[in-house]
């Protein structure tokens, strides 16, 4: 997952940071391709918050 995809999924850098449980400044420091740790956390948070269904298709997001 890219940082841009994650931000779009949550609507803002602040919302992404809150979903990940990190400070907003960390979001700006992350590379464009999120490390697995943060990608997995974003995926879990998106499912938990109902932003995506648990169905992920061939590595791409399936927004319902």
| Domains of the chain, CATH where assigned | 3-48 (1.10.260.40)
- Torsion 12-15-19-25 (CA) sign: positive
User: pLDDT by residue for the chain (64 residues), tens digit each?
Assistant: 899 999 999 999 999 999 999 999 999 999 999 999 999 999 889 888 888 766 654 465 555 5
Cα(33)–Cα(48) distance, integer angstroms: 22
Residue 57: the pLDDT is 41
pLDDT reported for residue 16 = 96
- Record the pTM: 0.79
Instruction: Look at residue 50 in the predicted model and tell me its pLDDT.
Output: 81
Return the structure tokens found at 47: 């499912």
pLDDT of residue 55: 63
Axis-axis angle for helices 13-20, 36-48 (nearest 10): 90
């Amino acid at each position: 997952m890219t940082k841009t995809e994650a931000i779009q999924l949550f609507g803002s850098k602040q919302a992404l940071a809150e979903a990940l449980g990190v400070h907003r400044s960390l979001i700006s420091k992350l590379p464009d391709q999120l490390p697995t740790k943060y990608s997995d956390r974003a995926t879990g948070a998106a499912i938990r918050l109902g932003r995506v269904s648990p169905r992920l298709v061939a590595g791409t997001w399936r927004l319902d």
